[in-house]
Amino acid sequence: MLLWMDYAEELLTEWKQCMEEGLDASAYKELMEQIKKMPPSRERYRLADEVFSLVQKLPQQKGYAYDEPSDWDAIQACLPKEQPVLPGVPDREALSERIHGAWLGRIIGCLLGKPVEGRRTPELKEMMRESKNDPLDRYFSYGDFSEAFCAEHAEWMNREGFADQLGGAAPSDDDTNYTVLSLKLINKYGRDFTTDDVAEIWLSDLPAIVTCTAERVAYRNALCGLTAPETATHKNPYREWIGAQIRGDLFGYINPGDLKTASHMAWRDARISHIKNGIYGEIFVSAMLAAAAVCDNREEVVRAGLSQIPEASRLAERLRLVFDWSKEGISMEEAIARVHGLYDEYDGHDWCHTISNAMLVAVGILFGEGDLQKSVCPIVQAGFDTDCNGATIGSVIGMMYGAASIPEKWAAPLCGMLRTGVAGYNLVAISDLADETMHLIPEV
């Protein structure tokens, strides 16, 4: 069976997800464990369905500390009263430079993290030491590893993501596929696209095999005739994982300074596959990028993202914690260690969750001094979802400071080109993506 499609296999993820949402599933944990241990069979599948029906009826625990709606109007009612006032939109030439920088930074950050995606910190450190790239200050290259190491760790060494194996273009990756797909979405359906339009373009232009976790489940649900929000909630234990957070960049790109429009586009996209903090992660990123298009103050950019998510959410609480750390005067390394203290990278749920990874993104931006390398590399070294976090940070830094700020050592290996799994964009110039994005930004 394709990964992430067997609900019975992920029942303990469902249990943890329910508990974090304030749904008391403790009475069902033992049953879930027993079903998970069963060999694949129709009976196992049936029992997992029964459990899904049970957890759907769980009431919210009394005294739950958070208020986390998924409906747009309810989200708006839960935002902080104080909203940021941002600078005006720069002229078209300056904006074009920023948009190009955002695309370039996103692709660079993704490529930095791609060879070590899925590696836990000890494995990641082993790869860095073996390639004499510790601390990380350049791309991983396949040729930097000994034949013995490559043979011993063959499962780690997918050549596609290594800088010396690119063949003239950055490789296809879900983190860049979704940014390109969003571009195609706006071109096809316009700025007033609906969540149903998102479902349609997924099914027509995005192969199911290039989707992961919540997106793959939502894809299956859409094929079965479900519509949002059921596509996000039906047998989807990944509904607050990072998948939506990596899809929000383009909506920030095309709404410079307009946090509300960027956020609403992100919400319409996110709700096909996610709820609550899963949705907020995409809104957070989109709003940050809308702010970064007009502002080069890192703290203001992160605060702009925070301003568009419910104040009493778990994500907002953790992002405020990162702000507190930045005021304490601690090092970036200490901030990363504190994230590791809160989340267990060996637990797949923690490793791939929106909140743990959003915290690392905020650490990278707030502690990285506005420098691409200082912002992205330590966060890739930090583990968790390395390519996702590298891509998001690179996108924000590239947007704030423009393409000209990005050193040639990071840009040159891409040869100005990107491969994607999106129909019609299989091999595309990065400059063309930036130009196409500019055409979607209304003239001021």
- The whole-model pTM stands at 0.97
Alpha-helical regions (H) of 190-275: 195-205, 213-223, 230-233, 249-253, 259-270
**What is the structure's pLDDT at 2?**
65
Give the whole-angstrom CA distance, residue 350 versus residue 20. Answer: 11
- The mean pLDDT of the chain is 97
Strand-pair partners of 429: 417
Right CATH for 77-115+171-439 from 1.10.4080.10, 1.10.357.10, 3.90.1150.10, 1.10.3720.10? 1.10.4080.10
Q: What's the Cα-to-Cα distance from 109 to each of 39, 112, 116, 131, rounded to whole Å?
A: 40, 5, 12, 19
Nearest to 440 by CA among 303, 281, 253, 301: 253
Strand-pair partners of 60: 23
N-terminal to C-terminal alpha carbon distance within the chain: 51
Please work out, in degrees rounded to the nearest 5, the angle formed at the alpha carbon of residue 270 by the alpha carbons of 160 and 67. Answer: 130
Please tell me whether 387 is known to bind a ligand. yes
Token pair of 218 as six digits: 């939502």
Give the whole-angstrom CA distance, residue 36 versus residue 44. Answer: 8
**What is the structure's pLDDT at 444?**
73
Q: Are 158 and 115 in contact (CB under 8 A)?
A: yes
**What is the structure's pLDDT at 431?**
98
Average confidence (pLDDT) per 10 residues, the chain, 444 residues:
83 97 95 96 95 92 96 99 96 98 99 97 97 98 97 92 96 97 98 98 93 96 97 98 98 99 99 99 99 98 99 99 97 99 98 99 98 99 98 99 98 98 95 98 88
Please tell me whether 385 is known to bind a ligand. yes
Token pair of 296 as six digits: 């080069």
Q: Are 256 and 293 in contact (CB under 8 A)?
A: yes
At 252-268, the pLDDT tens digits run 999 999 999 999 999 99
Where, residue-wise, is CATH 1.10.4080.10 in the chain?
77-115+171-439
- What single letter denotes the amino acid at residue 361? V
**What is the structure's pLDDT at 4?**
84
Which are the contacts of 93, defined by CB distance < 8 A and separation ≥ 6? none
Q: Are 316 and 306 in contact (CB under 8 A)?
A: yes
